[in-house]
């Protein structure tokens, strides 16, 4: 299965982002990709939370969703919107939602980001996602008919939680999705290591599509979208923090079988107890 990963600098206007993203998606389709993954928050990055609340809509009304649904149906490909920031959370909060579309443009599945980024990393910015977003509480796996792919859905900060990825792989996932808007600082320190670790631990393909460049409010994200094979090797990458590009690569699912046979960590995993005296 040939996949395409989009990397671009998401702005504060969903309509503008939809046009920019469509160009990249079409590049991937023209290159023969059967599946396209976009970054996290691909419809809007807006640091002013009051403005963000006014800007985002429900998913079906979002310009990026509408574009992706139209293109998926017209060109008969799978498109996974790495995430959209949308209305629909409890207590008036937003949701960071990943949406998978089939080649007819219908929604196959959706996943709400479980782990919210509530940190201060010393770059002068506070990231308190739980202050505005409601977390999800369900892990999600999706099979793509006639491709051999079984997707494990995650978003950005989820990559720091190995148990989620192990659960997805043990439920049948052979491709882990990690769309992200990784900060420049944490990306330079941790991005490649985390991606390789999750692929190695599960013997899975890993697709990581990231935002890049400088966004509204001066926030910078790391880019470096990449494909990691089930042995933990980075086999394709947009090696830039600023380049807006489409990365394509053909996955061979025999590599999953080979990796998991060599290191059967999923089969060898055991439950255990922590003594109360510790």
Query: The tokens of 176 are what?
Result: 């882990």
Residue 42 designated active-site: no
Contact by Cβ (8 Å): 63, 32: no
Q: Are 208 and 236 in contact (CB under 8 A)?
A: no
Which entry of 34, 40, 201, 241 is annotated as an active-site residue? Answer: 40
Is residue 40 part of the annotated active site? The answer reads: yes
Catalytic residue of the set 9, 34, 42, 113: 113
**Separation of alpha carbons 140 and 204, rounded Å:** 16
State how far the Cα of 56 lies from the Cα of 13, in Å rounded to an integer.
9
DSSP of 130-180: GGTBPPP----EEEETTTTEEEEE--GGGGG-HHHHHHHHHTT-SEEE--B
Strand 78-87, strand 35-37: pairing: parallel
Please answer whether residues 79 and 25 qualify as being in contact, where contact means their C-beta atoms are separated by less than 8 angstroms.
yes
Task: Choose, from 42, 156, 212, 226, the residue flagged as catalytic.
Answer: 156
To the query of whether residue 80 is one of the catalytic residues in this protein, the response is no
Q: What tokens does 228 get?
A: 């990691």
What are the catalytic residues? Answer: 40, 113, 156
């Amino acid at each position: 299965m040939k996949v395409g990963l989009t990397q671009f600098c998401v702005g504060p206007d969903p309509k503008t982002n939809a046009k920019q993203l469509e160009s990249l998606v079409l590049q991937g389709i023209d290159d023969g990709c059967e599946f396209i993954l976009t970054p996290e928050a691909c419809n809007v990055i807006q640091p002013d939370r009051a403005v963000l609340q006014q800007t985002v809509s429900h998913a079906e009304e979002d310009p990026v969703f509408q574009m992706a649904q139209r293109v998926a149906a017209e060109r008969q490909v799978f498109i996974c919107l790495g995430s959209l920031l949308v209305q629909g959370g409890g207590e008036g909060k937003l949701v960071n939602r990943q949406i998978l579309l089939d080649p007819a443009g219908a929604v196959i599945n959706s996943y709400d980001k479980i782990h919210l980024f509530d940190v201060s990393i010393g770059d002068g910015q506070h990231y308190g996602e739980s202050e505005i977003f409601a977390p999800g509480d369900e892990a999600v796996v999706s099979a793509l008919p006639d491709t051999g792919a079984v997707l494990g859905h995650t978003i950005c900060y989820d990559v720091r939680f190995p148990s989620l990825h192990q659960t997805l792989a043990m439920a049948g996932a052979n491709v882990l999705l990690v769309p992200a808007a990784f900060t420049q600082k944490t990306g330079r320190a941790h991005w490649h290591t985390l991606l390789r670790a999750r692929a190695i631990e599960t013997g899975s393909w890993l697709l990581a599509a990231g935002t890049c460049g400088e966004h509204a409010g001066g926030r910078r994200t790391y880019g470096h979208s990449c494909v990691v094979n089930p042995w933990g090797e980075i086999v394709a990458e947009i090696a830039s923090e600023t380049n807006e590009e489409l990365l394509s690569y053909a996955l061979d699912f025999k590599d999953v079988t080979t990796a998991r046979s060599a290191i059967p960590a999923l089969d060898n995993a055991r439950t255990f107890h922590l003594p109360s005296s510790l």
